Amino acid sequence: MELITLLSALLVLAIVSLSTFFVLYYNTPTKDGKTLPPGRMGWPFIGESYDFFAAGWKGKPESFIFDRLKKFAKGNLNGQFRTSLFGNKSIVVAGAAANKLLFSNEKKLVTMWWPPSIDKAFPSTAQLSANEEALLMRKFFPSFLIRREALQRYIPIMDDCTRRHFATGAWGPSDKIEAFNVTQDYTFWVACRVFMSIDAQEDPETVDSLFRHFNVLKAGIYSMHIDLPWTNFHHAMKASHAIRSAVEQIAKKRRAELAEGKAFPTQDMLSYMLETPITSAEDSKDGKAKYLNDADIGTKILGLLVGGHDTSSTVIAFFFKFMAENPHVYEAIYKEQMEVAATKAPGELLNWDDLQKMKYSWCAICEVMRLTPPVQGAFRQAITDFTHNGYLIPKGWKIYWSTHSTHRNPEIFPQPEKFDPTRFEGNGPPAFSFVPFGGGPRMCPGKEYARLQVLTFVHHIVTKFKWEQILPNEKIIVSPMPYPEKNLPLRMIARSESATLA
């Protein structure tokens, strides 16, 4: 018994000593005489990752940032602190100046960095990292997600999808719908139609199967990189494989249809990827153009589904919440949308010019994204030593910027908790302070896609329905995107028939 007690005591002493040594070593505040930002590195191996996630689980992701700025930056909302996230030495920066520094110095001071779970979910046959994959994808974006002539083609498709989704009765009128779930379903409909020309009503089996796997993927894609059978990460990787395999089969079928003239190269993103070389014959060593293979197309379409779905669905869901809480804003949007509706013939689809008239509606949507941004922030990696605010940011360290550091900053947005769309009228907020889509060369290329989809949806929902929250104080969880704990139950009330579009 005494031997067991002695061994136990020695084991505890060894663990404490090792942890103490690790923490002291890991928290060394200088490098080559240059000062690192103040902060703490947390526990061995996991750092402060748990605290980072827990702030979101409590519905206050900004608290991780602001609590540490208060402690380590003397309350300076434009400050910085060091920490450890996802097993990496990290520096969290805050403020518009920090955003500008990161967004304006891609490949000069920093490069994009993703947690390991992202690389695993989006594998490349060329063994490219998620960062390199993102750069390759931008080759395809201008023709389908950025240029006006391409975006104009999407509006009638989005409008048609929206009308048909409403026709299913999913939106009511009803004493109770779970708006978050219905919104998820709707935005996935649109993404499948726009990116792959898969119609959810004509091929419900394919869309439903993809959607089931998609939800599993989302639940674990940003989780800790622990690949054990019971973890969310493990389930997410299996779901990623299932979606990519399904898209590969769809791509094979489309390739045959293109060869037979049953599909055309500009039909959607899938056809464009199949027909557009990633390396021209002139630039190829063997004189032959190089194209994406089916496996890589599966990975890239998966990335588009995630990006094209999550932003729009999050914004639409919280649009419901904030309109229910601010009926005067809803009424102003209703007035604007009815003015657009008055110019349309029965059954006529929306077009580019119609959406340009929805100025106040877009201001309100921007305010939704300010308070509940779909993306909480992102990482960069320092590719050289540099300084910010007098502190060293060493090469190889990860740098995290947060939307909340500016979106919730009262120096930029007075009364930051107040919902006020007029903040975005005129010239709007200062540069680099409103960043729901990031900024610089890495700004989310799907920004305009999301704008068109959300405005199209808003047009239909406010001209057809009013709504009330059933749970006004419902908790919001952020993991990694915000979602209502009880799926946002709403009571949907139909507008009078005379105020409803055909």
Q: State the DSSP H helix or E strand holding residue 447, giving kind and residue range, or none if neither.
A: helix 447-464
**CA atoms of 142 and 175, how far apart (whole Å):** 43
132: part of which helix (H) or strand (E)? Answer: helix 130-137
- DSSP SS3 for 2: helix
Contacts of 415 (CB under 8 A, 6+ apart): none
Enumerate residues 6+ apart whose C-beta is below 8 A from 159. Answer: 349, 350, 456
Is 444 marked as a binding-site residue? yes
Residue 477, strand partner residues = 483
Angstrom distance (rounded) from CA 350 to CA 355: 8
Rounded to the nearest 5°, which phi and psi values hold at 34? -95, 145
Q: 447-464 and 179-196 helices cross at what angle (nearest 10)? A: 130
Nearest to 405 by CA among 28, 23, 73, 47: 73
- Tell the burial category of 11 from Cβ atoms under 10 Å away from its Cβ (0-12, 13-18, 19+): exposed
Q: Which helix (H) or strand (E) holds 242?
A: helix 232-259
CB 322 within 8 A of CB 361: no
CA dist 475 → 58, 60, 146, 472 (Å): 8, 10, 36, 9
Q: How far is residue 51's CA from residue 58's CA, in Å, rounded to a whole number?
A: 10
**Strand ranges across the sheet with 465-469:** 174-178, 489-494, 465-469
Determine which helix (DSSP H) or strand (DSSP E) holds 159, and give its type and residue range.
helix 148-167
- In the beta sheet, which residues pair with residue 493? 466
What are the beta bridge partners of residue 482?
478
* Distance separating alpha carbons of residues 435 and 338, to the nearest angstrom: 30
Q: How does strand 465-469 pair with strand 489-494?
A: antiparallel
- Residue type for position 237: M
Q: Give the residue ranges of the annotated binding site.
A: 444
Q: Give the residue ranges of the annotated binding site for heme.
A: 444
